[in-house]
Structure formats: C-alpha cells, structure tokens
Amino acid sequence: MNVVSYRPKPEELSYTFGGRPALGKVRPGTILELYTEDCFGGRVQTVDDLPSQVCEFPYLNPVTGPFHVEGAEPGDTLALHFISITPARDWAVSTTFPHFGALTGTHTTAMLQPPLEERVWRYDIDLDKNVAVYHARNSDFSVALPLDPMHGTVGVAPGANEARMTITPDAHGGNMDTPELRAGVTVYLGVNVEGGMFSIGDGHGLQGHGEVCGTAVESAMNTVVAVELIKGVATPWPRLEDDLHLMSTGSARPLEDAYRISQHDLVTWTSELTGLDTLDAYQLVSQAGQAPVGNVCDTNYTMVAKLPKAYLGGAADVYESAHARLRALGSQYTS
Amino acid sequence: MNVVSYRPKPEELSYTFGGRPALGKVRPGTILELYTEDCFGGRVQTVDDLPSQVCEFPYLNPVTGPFHVEGAEPGDTLALHFISITPARDWAVSTTFPHFGALTGTHTTAMLQPPLEERVWRYDIDLDKNVAVYHARNSDFSVALPLDPMHGTVGVAPGANEARMTITPDAHGGNMDTPELRAGVTVYLGVNVEGGMFSIGDGHGLQGHGEVCGTAVESAMNTVVAVELIKGVATPWPRLEDDLHLMSTGSARPLEDAYRISQHDLVTWTSELTGLDTLDAYQLVSQAGQAPVGNVCDTNYTMVAKLPKAYLGGAADVYESAHARLRALGSQYTS
Amino acid sequence: MNVVSYRPKPEELSYTFGGRPALGKVRPGTILELYTEDCFGGRVQTVDDLPSQVCEFPYLNPVTGPFHVEGAEPGDTLALHFISITPARDWAVSTTFPHFGALTGTHTTAMLQPPLEERVWRYDIDLDKNVAVYHARNSDFSVALPLDPMHGTVGVAPGANEARMTITPDAHGGNMDTPELRAGVTVYLGVNVEGGMFSIGDGHGLQGHGEVCGTAVESAMNTVVAVELIKGVATPWPRLEDDLHLMSTGSARPLEDAYRISQHDLVTWTSELTGLDTLDAYQLVSQAGQAPVGNVCDTNYTMVAKLPKAYLGGAADVYESAHARLRALGSQYTS
Amino acid sequence: MNVVSYRPKPEELSYTFGGRPALGKVRPGTILELYTEDCFGGRVQTVDDLPSQVCEFPYLNPVTGPFHVEGAEPGDTLALHFISITPARDWAVSTTFPHFGALTGTHTTAMLQPPLEERVWRYDIDLDKNVAVYHARNSDFSVALPLDPMHGTVGVAPGANEARMTITPDAHGGNMDTPELRAGVTVYLGVNVEGGMFSIGDGHGLQGHGEVCGTAVESAMNTVVAVELIKGVATPWPRLEDDLHLMSTGSARPLEDAYRISQHDLVTWTSELTGLDTLDAYQLVSQAGQAPVGNVCDTNYTMVAKLPKAYLGGAADVYESAHARLRALGSQYTS
C-alpha cells in the first residue's frame, strides 16, 4: 500500500484552482493522509475573532494541494475516495460574514440595507460522543448536534486556462459545499490539465442544507483519500458515488440551473448505463431521483441529483468499478 | 368521532383556490374521508391517452373542495392532519407534457426549440407489496419503486380576493408538490377568507425530488384528513409538522427565493419558539436545518425547510399541540 | 364619435383583474375619458403620509374598470389606444415601502435585515413646463425631470377563472410598469372572458427603468383611450404598437424569463409577419431588437421587446391596422 | 501625442483575463491604435463556416492585449477612452451556436431538447452608407441596419489571482456585450494587479439588446483608445461615461442581480457625487435612471444603469475629469 502524508505549511496553502504549481506528485493507487485547514485558515478561534478583522481577502477558504496525478491527461477522470474525514481539533467555528449568506443582501444580490451583524459561534467537538455542541451567543441555550464530517471544497484545475477562487464551485468542482461529500464516498472529477491538479479543503463537522448563513461548523480535518485515475473517460461535472447511490452535481445561478445541470447529467448517465432512451430515463429519475441541496450561499449554488443504484436494474457499475476497488483499499488501510 | 365522507362528482371538481362556493361545511374536529382525482381528472388511462389530447386546459389538476370550516376567520390557522393517503386504483400514470417540466423550455422559460415528445407511462400499483412498478416504453426495463403516497396540492382560498389556478403554489398553499406532505403529517394553513375554504388534490403514489419531468406517479386517492382550527394564530406560509420535525415552506421563482422564504420562516419560527435571538436561530438552522426540494417545474417552485424538534430544547410544542391531538384522533379513527 | 366619460367613486375602484362585475359596457369604437387614481388611492398627499399607515392592504394600486367590451369573446384581441395621459393634479408622490423594491429584501427575496426606511417624496407637477420637480428630503437638492406620463397598469380578466391582484403583471397584462405605455401607443390584450373586462390605473408622471425603489412619480391621471376589438385574433401576451415600433412583453421571474418571453414573442411575430423562418427572424431581432426594461420590483418582473417597423420590409401592418385607425380617431378627437 | 499601434499576430491573441504576460507596456496618456479580431478569430467567413467546425474551444473570443499600464497598482482605476471603433472588413458574420443564446437550452440552463440549428449569416458592411446589410438565409429578405460599432469585451486582470475566460463578464469587465461601449465613451476599470493588464476585443458592427441569439454582427475592428490612470481611486465594477451620462454596470445571474449591482452602484455613486443621502439618491435614480440591457446570453448577464449628468445638479465631474481630458485628446488625435 502506497501511503503518503501531506501537512501543508501555512505558506503552502492554495486559494485558487488552477494557476498554481503542484504541491506534490502522486501515483494512481496512492492513499493520501492530508491535513486541511478550516475556511478561515484557523484564524477564527474565539467568538471575538471576527473574520473581517482577522482574515484578509482573498486568503480565504485555503485548500491543501494541488496534487499532480501521474498520467492524468485532459479527457481522463480522477477518482478520489474519501476513506475518513476526522475533525482535527476539539473545537470548530461558524460565523456570519458581512454581505454573505442566503438571507442577507450580498455583493451580487446587492441591497441598500446595512449588513447583518458579524458574529462568531464556537462549537465543542467531541469525537467520542460524535457531536458538535452549539452554544447560543445571547442566551444559555445549548444543544449537541451529531457530527457528519464532510469537505466543502474539492476540485481540479479548470479548463480553458482559467484559475478560480476556491470559494467558487463550477464544472471543475470547487466549493460545492454538499453534505454528500462525506467519508465512504468516491468523487469523480474530469481532468482538464495535465496531472489533474486536485486540491481539498473546507472541512465541516456538519452542515445544514444550503449552508444558509454562509458557513458551516468549520473545522480543520485529518482526511484520508485514495486516488485513482480512469483513463479515457471524461466527466463533464463532478459526480459522486457511495455504496448505494450514484450522484451528479451542478453549480450555477439561479438555483434552478444548478438543479437542471445535475438532473440533466443524472438522466443522461442513467440512459447510458441502462440503455433506456432519454425520455424513459427522464421518467425513472423523475420518480426515483433525489435532490439534496448543496449550497445556496456561494458565488454559484450547488445541487446534487441522487439515484439509488437499486433502481438501475443491475447496470450501476460505473468508472470501471473504481468505487468498489477504492472502498476495498480503504478497508485494507483502516484495518 | 365526527366522520364525514365526500366523493365529488366530476362536475363538482374545482380548478382554482378562491372564487368558488363551498362544496361542504365542516366543524373543527371533523374527520373527512375524501376521494381525490388524479391531476388529469382520470382521463389518462393508457399510454395512448396523451394529456394534450384527452385533457382540456384549464381543467387540469382538479381538487376536492373547497370546504368551509365553521368559525374560521382571517388571521386564524387551519390544521389539516393527514391520517391516511391510499391510492384508489391499481394503476397510476405519469407523462411528459409539451412545454412543461424542468428540463425543457416552457411558456415562461421560453425557447425556440420544439417541445419534447409527449409520452405516457402507466405504473402498476400494488398496495400489498407497497410498490409502483415502472415500465420503460422503449425497452423491457422494469423496476418496482416503493410507494410513498402524498398530496401535491393542498391549500386555502388566497387573500386579496384572488383566485388562483390549482397548479400554482403560493402563500395560500396550492400545488407545492412536496413529498413531505404524506400521511402522519399536519399541514398548517393561514386563513384568508371566512371559512378558510380548503381543498385537496393531486395525489402521487410517489414523487422524485423536484418532479423534474413535471408529473409524478399520478394517482386518485382515498384520503382521510382530520380538521382543526387554531383561532387567533396567523400563518404566513404553509407549515408542516410530523412527529419529529417542524417544517416551513416557500414557493416562488427563482428557486433560491423559495429557499429563502422557507428558511426565513424556519429561522424566525425557531427564534419565537426558543427565545433565541434572530442570529442565534439563524446559526442553529444553518447547521441543523434540512431543505427538501418540493417542485422545480410548476408556475412557482417550492422548497421546504425542516428542523428536527429534538434540537429545539423542548420548545417544539406549536399551534396548541394540534399535531399531537390530531395524531391521537387519527389513531382512534384507524383502530 | 362615441365618447364616454367615467370617473369612478372611491368605492367603485377595483383591486383585481378578474372576479369583478363590469363598471360599464362599451362598444368597439368608443372613446373613453377616464379618471384613474394613483397607486396609493390618493391617500399619500404629504411627506408625512407613510403608505404603511394611510393605506390598507390589499387596497393598493386601484384601477378604473373593469369595462365590458361588447362582442369580445375568448380568442379575440382588445386594442386600447392611449390618446392622452394627463396628470390630474399639480403634485405627485413617490415612496419607499417596507419590503418592496429592487434593492431591498422583500417577502419573496426574504432577508433577515430590517427593512429600509419608509420615506415619501412629493413632486411638483408643472404641465406647462412639462416637468416633475424632485425635492430631496434631507438636503436642498432639487431638480426638474421631464414628464413622460404613462400607465403602469392595464389589463383584462385573466383566463382559467383566475382573479389576480392588480399589482401582478402576467399574460393578462396588469402592473407591467413599462414607460413604453405612453400616449400615442396602442396596447393589444388577448381576451380570456366574455367582454374582455379591461381596467386601467397606476399613472406615472415619469418612471425610471425598472422602477428600482418600487414606486414611480405616482399621479392620478385624466386619460383618454380609444377602444377597438379585433375578432378571431388571439394574443398570448400583451403587445404594444407605436408609430415606429412593434413591441412584445413578458412578465415573469427571474428577469431573464421575462426577457425570454418577450423576445420569443417578438421573434415568432416577426416570422409570421415577414415570412422569415424562425431562425432568420431570430437573427434579425438579435441585431435590430431593443429591450426596454419594465419593472424589476413587482411580483413578476416585466421586459419589453421592441423592433422598429422600418426593418420589417413593409410587413409591419398588424391587427388589421388597428393602430393607424385608432391614431386617426385620436387625432379627430383631439382636434 | 504618444501614439502606439498594435496588431497582434494570431499566436499573440489572448483568451483569458489574467494569467498572461503583457503584450506591451503603455504609459498613461498614450493613444493606442489596435486591431482586434472578431469573436471567431476570423475563421467564420462564409455561411458554410460553422463555428463548431472551424473554431476550437477554448480559442474563442480572442482579445488584443493584455497591456501593462505603467504605474497602475491595485486600488487605482484605468480610464480607457474609445476615440474610434471602425469595422476592419467589408463583411461581418453572426451565427447561432449549439447550446448558446437566450432562447435555447444551454450547458447551464440544461434541457433535454436537441440544440437549435447552427446557422451563419454574413453581413455586408458599408462604411460610407454606415450600414450592415442583413440577408435572410431562407428567403430573399434583406434589410440595411445602421452601424453602431462597439466592443463586446474590455477588461483587466481579475483580482484574487483569478484568470477568467474572455467570454465571462464580471467585476473585472470582460464580455459585457453592451452597446453603450461605443466610440466617445470612457470606460473605468478598477485595477487588481500591477499594470492593470487590460485587453479589448469582440467588436460588433451593431448589436441588439441582450444579444438574444448569442452573437452580434461580429467584426474585426480598428480601434483607437486613449489610456489614462487615476491613482488612488478604486472602482468596484466597470463604469462608463459619455458626454451626457454616467453609467454603472453589473454582471451576474439571474438577470435581476445584474440589474441590482448596476443600480446599487449608480445609487451610491450618485449619493457620493451629490451629497444626497442614500435614500434620496435611490429616489432620484428610481425616476431618472435608465437601464440598457447588455447581454442575456453569456456566462454572466450584464445590465447597465445610466443617469443623465444633467440631473446631478452640477456634481457630475468624476474621476478627475478624465473623460473631458481624454475627449479633448481624442479630438486632437482625430484632427
């Protein structure tokens, strides 16, 4: 088993997908043990650390990477299987941020109203009890919420010589902020440049649907990822697979376009897998498909389209069984 | 127990919320046994019955009602508890429909491309096995999908002297098309006119998230509803409650506005119930809130915001415990 | 010349399209001299009259009508030619209104921020100088703006037995709030119910593009309209014609859908008139078409698609030359 | 007068803003004579040259540049005054393009319908008569349309280390596709990186509002631009100025957000210039503001907010009178 560990120094963190040299090179089949910083670069530690004061734009939402995957060329697909995602500290934070979030005016949904108050919440993380404990700021209210660790941000270098802020989700991945991206899941990313150049960051101890206030339970993470390369198979938008489901994603504005992209991909993928014609696949997805909301706060919104493999009539073997193989590799690693 | 049965004659079906005399009067505390027709008025029975040929606009999406609830006045809230929702036939249908659905140009998202093919799928409904069996039209593919019966349409007469097509969801309810509206759920609807004038229709054997092709597994239903009236409590947008969750809804375009309305209502409701200030409630909902997609195909799109009661610190008793009381009444009826 | 005058009493004002008996019956060919109240029903008269205090929902945006046009049946088109639109008072008002306008959170674009301040501006109207004089509230700044009187609201009873608040623009017309609806223009409205049942209101001394704060220079009006009926010609969305242009409208959300509806109608109309195939018409409109913004603040947004007749190769004679005839009738009336 | 000419070789054309070394260095005060290729790189020359066959993604929408302006630093503003924009050939082309345009499904507004036909129109450009002659493809219809030359694309390197395809408009400028960007206009662009790094391209002989089919009358251009640098003055979104108007732009989706950004900037700018408080400025812009549509087809949509200087009470002198000075310099150059 080829296991490699990376813990980036602060000055090695990346803030874009694309436009950066590789942090390291990995061979397909490698297991990566990564440390990822939280979206504030670890600078928001107490309720008095207001992000607008302790953080500096554009040094937000750092990612660990990019990693160059040997042999990856445009037209291939990277498979990243998340073996484990473990909060790295016994605390995490969440905040409002001026002109950010779904229930406030923003720089694009521009309003004349003053911004909402900037406020920080600090959560206790208890891995034994598997909870993050919420504490209200203006009362004694407190409640333990079950951990469901995930990564908000994973992606590759975009095509067309673009470089994009890590905060933006698009066809290259990025800050999709979907709770579906948890341990046990394989993410498929289409390769746009030599080496693929993937990065991972923005761990969440848990996240509500849509990340309505703009941030989740933001946590540094120790994350283990198994890397595979599927040659000669393109992937237009990030896809996910767990043991029971296939998933397509879409990131766009307005939110219905994110929904359309993800459902369109799931319908055409279902058609390819089952041999159903497009309309028959459309009908099947219409009744059996799910649509978990990713984010409704970032520069693009993200929706996931999700179908139980059980309804595909035995035709759910995708990407040369990469998920099953990586799942097995992950079990081997864990045991 | 006051139990009343209504089975509307075809000519008694309604096609609007508002603008119609009552089909019947009911006292609070009544249990209604209703028959509801499917969204095609039962006219699409075989795969050869194209809706655009056998149905006539605007006689689509008929509802059973309206019912006048004694004592209901503007500013009150109706509670409708769905005791059971049972497919009334051993078949159901779904179709594409020209210029309707999320992955096609429509009359508002106007495109120059020709419409998609109009096609009908007929499902076998098997109540014993609890499945609806999908049959592809252009192959032998077939798969049994678990039933999860629901009503797409429930609402009251709108305010401001409006009358709205039943196909439109808005603050008065209407065609929200959310799978959350299943048996065991109580729906709260703000009363806008004397008597409230609620109607129910558009049963679905099951429905995918967003109803992407525009129709679900459309089925006539035998539905049992317990009716309550909460005096002096207003409800701005429809809310739902099941044993474990509180839910707010929003219906609008673009889809992010449906999300905003529903999340905004859930945040302010959470604040009222718990005494958390608005930002503290915003934070709690941001991490613990869910966002099931209703429809992304109707004249307004619908999102649901959903919070486990367990996270409200014992403050989840709403609407004078109407849900618990109606749940008990339902158990009494069923046994 | 058949000239009829109507000045509705306060209790005769209408607040919906549809759901109301006719205020009067008119024969095609009639010239109507109408008085219309401003959108506040004349209750906001000084800067101290805050609309939320002196007006009562839903008694906003009153219209004069509805008028039953003899012989009008579903499938026909009403032509309303605006001979003159004259501010009826030497003052007019504009206001912000809580949760209304394009640069503030609203009930649908729901935000947690407090609403903007509610403020009233009173304009001096000087018909001789043809100006409305703006006065800042918090400084001595003052400027005279040229009058360009128009009606924000004109429409017929909707189809499908609907009744809609006058504030909503849709396929039946309504509160389109486009500055293109000025004197010299003919509006074409598809008839949905017997008699058509048209109404007119919401005069503006002038209006910026999009009515960004939610209200224009709101003015009662003395308006003269010539009424025609075109039998057997349907009109899916309101259209406008002036001496030099044909115009289509669309009202929807998001704003691009209003644009799509209006441009789609203009393209297909151009194709019908010129014999160009759809793509050739699409190309012509793409280069020669204009797109004046109507409103970006109402419950639906409105866009206008506008094409100079000069580019239609002599094929711009529409609706049986109704505009030319009514223009001539108007000249006869005025002289 | 410092006049410099640049005619890029094909291999010198740029396809991104950001991520490219400078094509040349210019001092403030320089007059640049530029040649810009059309959006197809000149490869679509006849109606048989289908873009999807003769062009290769992502080598679309080439720009001439980037130019490094000496002394330009983040926080400064570049002023680019367009002295003249002259079609460089006696022909131009426009096309439909699969999955592109406002009245068709696209990669983001994803639809299951097949794409529209790809078709090319070739226009005759007659500089003497000042017209572009449209020829229908499927009939003899032909019409001369007045030239109104403009540049669809102008911008600087984005901030946050991003590189963006030239086809995308955003805060750095880019493919705004507004007809307001014609000769006689000064464009103000906020500097994000040392040297500013501006580029110009995508000339249009004329363009309809919204560029509904996705392309305009695409033409190579000979363009003369005067360059100025305003030190220490930041500009958040591109602004324009002509002799009579100030203009703000916004580029986003949905279209109402582009409108909001542009109107918000115009309101706050008006407030700064006149000393009016925000609400008083909001009111003035609401009545006197215009909103020319830029594009409704690109990856972001663009709206312009436009205010006659005459209504600013003598407070319309902006950016240290750069427009007036550059206008004078332009006159000197031309004479």
Torsion of CA D170, D174, D178, D182, to 10 degrees: 140
What pLDDT was estimated at residue D297?
97
Residue B125 pLDDT: 98
- Distances in Å between the Cα of B61 and the Cα atoms of B43, B51, B81, B220, C12 are 11, 12, 21, 11, 34
Give the other-Cβ count within 10 Å of B87's Cβ. Answer: 24
**Residue-wise burial string across D252-280, b where 16 or more C-beta atoms lie within 10 A, e elsewhere:** bbbbbbbbbbbbbbbbbbbbebbbbebbb
What would the mean pLDDT of A23-45 be, rounded to a whole number? 98
Residue D306's identity, in one-letter code, is K
Q: What is the mean pLDDT of the segment spanning D155-177?
A: 98
Single-letter amino acid, residue A93: V
Using DSSP's 3-state secondary structure scheme, residue A272 falls into helix
- Structure confidence at residue C143 as a pLDDT band (50, 70, 90): very high
The CATH architecture that domain A247-315 belongs to is Roll (3.10)
Indicate if ipTM > 0.95: yes
- Any chains having at least 3 CB pairs less than 8 A from chain A are B, C, D
Minimal Cβ distance to A288: which of B116, B119, B145: B145
Q: Subunits that touch chain C (at least 3 Cβ pairs < 8 angstroms)?
A: A, B, D
For the segment B207-225, the average pLDDT, to the nearest whole number, is 98
Mean pLDDT of chain D: 97
Q: Find which of A212, A298, A299 to mutate to test the B interface (most B CBs within 10 Å of its CB).
A: A212
Q: How far apart are CA A285 and CA B213, in angstroms?
A: 9
In this predicted structure, the answer to whether residue C183 has a pLDDT above a threshold of 90 is: yes
Is the peptide bond between D58 and the residue preceding it cis, with omega within 30 degrees of 0? yes
Please list every residue in chain B whose beta carbon sits closer than 8 Å to the beta carbon of residue C57: 160
CB contact under 8 A, C260 and B57: no
Query: CB–CB of C216 and D311 under 8 A?
Result: no
pLDDT of residue B206: 98
Q: Do D137 and C280 touch (CB under 8 A)?
A: yes
CA distance linking residue D141 with residue D88, whole number of Å: 26
pLDDT digits (tens, 9 = 90+) for C99-133: 999 999 999 999 999 999 999 999 999 999 999 99
Residue pair D87/D96 in contact by the 8 Å Cβ criterion:
no
**Residue A89 binned pLDDT confidence (cut-offs 50, 70, 90):** very high
Q: Which of A97, A103, A259, A301 to mutate to test the interface with C (most CBs of C within 10 A)?
A: A103
Residues of D in contact with C206 (CB under 8 A): 287-288
**Cβ–Cβ gap D161/A57 under 8 Å:** no
Task: Check CB contact under 8 Å for C110 and B163.
Answer: no
- Which residue in B14, B20, B55, B107 has the most chain C C-beta atoms within 10 A of its own C-beta, making it the best mutation to test that interface? B107
Q: Residue D111: closest CA among chain A residues belongs to which residue?
A: A264
pLDDT tens, residue by residue, B239-248: 999 999 999 9
3-state secondary structure of B127: coil
Q: Does domain B247-318 have CATH number 3.10.28.20?
A: yes
**pLDDT tens, residue by residue, D40-49:** 999 999 999 9
* Contact assignment for B116 to D112 by CB distance below 8 Å: yes
User: Any idea where the domains of chain B sit in the sequence?
Assistant: 247-318
What mean pLDDT is predicted for residues D133-158? Answer: 98
Q: State the nearest Cα–Cα gap between C145 and chain D, in angstroms.
A: 7
Instruction: Read off the pLDDT of each residue in C223-245 and give the average, rounded to a whole number.
Output: 98
Residue B1 is predicted with a pLDDT of 86
- pLDDT score of C1 more than 90: no
Which residues of chain B does C264 touch, with a Cβ-Cβ cutoff of 8 Å?
110-112
pLDDT confidence bin for B115, thresholds 50/70/90: very high
Q: What is the pLDDT of residues B259-301, one digit of tens each?
A: 999 999 999 999 999 999 999 999 999 999 999 999 999 999 9
The pLDDT value given to residue A299: 97
Say if the Cβ atoms of D113 and B110 lie within 8 Å: no
**Residue A54: in which H helix or E strand, if any?**
helix A51-54
Q: What's residue C211's pLDDT?
A: 98
State mean pLDDT over B148-172.
Answer: 98
Does the pLDDT of residue A1 top 90, yes or no? Answer: no
Q: Which residues pair with D125 in a beta bridge?
A: D132
Residue from C140, D218, C90, B208 nearest A287 by CA = B208
Q: What percent of chain A has pLDDT above 70?
A: 100
Token look-up 């597994």 returns B217
Residues of chain C contacting residue A114, judged by C-beta atoms under 8 Å apart: 113
Asked whether residue D1 carries a pLDDT value surpassing 90, the answer given is no
Question: What is the residue-wise DSSP string for D67-128?
Answer: EEETT--TT-EEEEEEEEEEESSSEEEEE-BTTBSTTS--SSS--SSPPPPP-EEEEEEETT
Q: Is D289 close to C121, i.e. CB distance below 8 A?
A: no
- Among left, alpha and beta (phi > 0; psi -120 to 50; other), residue B102 is alpha
Q: What is the mean pLDDT of residues B294-309?
A: 98
A312 contacts: CB under 8 Å, gap ≥ 6: A246, A270, A273, A274
What span, in angstroms and rounded, lies between the C-alpha atoms of D200 and D172?
Answer: 12
Which of C103, C110, C113 is closest, CB to CB, to A110?
Answer: C103
Mean pLDDT of the C237-252 span? 98
- Residues whose CB is less than 8 angstroms from the CB of residue A307 and which lie 6 or more positions away in sequence, other chains included: A245, A246, A247, A266, A270, A285, A288, A289, A290
Average pLDDT for C285-293 = 98
Our CA-based measurement puts residue C292 at a distance from the nearest CA of chain A, in whole angstroms, of 21
CATH 3.10.28.20 fits C239-316, yes or no: yes
CATH number of the structural domain D242-318: 3.10.28.20
Cβ–Cβ gap B139/A280 under 8 Å = yes
Burial of C232 (0-12, 13-18, 19+ CB in 10 A): exposed
What is the percent of chain A with per-residue pLDDT over 90, rounded to a whole number? 99
Contact (Cβ atoms closer than 8 angstroms) between residue B94 and residue A279: no
